[in-house]
Amino acid sequence: MNYDLAMMALEGLARSPMTLTSSGGEITIEGEAASFKELARLCLLLGGTQTASDEFELTPGVHLEAGPVLRLKLREE
């Protein structure tokens, strides 16, 4: 995984945090367009890895304005 690109995406999310809410079995992610671009970059980086040990943790107060911790990781097959 390209960790420099990952750090740039995480820094972008820190500049423009998203809001994550959960209610009635539904999860809503809200944010500016730039935030969704950074989230997409993280997803693409994960999709290009060869190992399931890589993951990203988006934390409230840093990458998220509100909500629980959001963890992005590959499912082990």
pLDDT, tens digit, for every residue of 27-50? 999 999 999 999 999 999 888 887
Tell me the CA distances in angstroms from 61 to 7, 13, 20, one per residue in order. Answer: 17, 11, 12
Mean pLDDT of all residues in the chain?
88
Q: Return the higher-pLDDT residue of 9 and 54.
A: 9
Q: How many CA atoms lie within 13 A of 39 on its CB side?
A: 19
| pLDDT at residue 1, as a whole number | 66
Q: Return the higher-pLDDT residue of 6 and 1.
A: 6
Question: What percent of the chain is modeled with pLDDT above 70?
Answer: 99
- The values of phi and psi at residue 33, to 5°, are -55, -40
| pLDDT at residue 13, as a whole number | 92
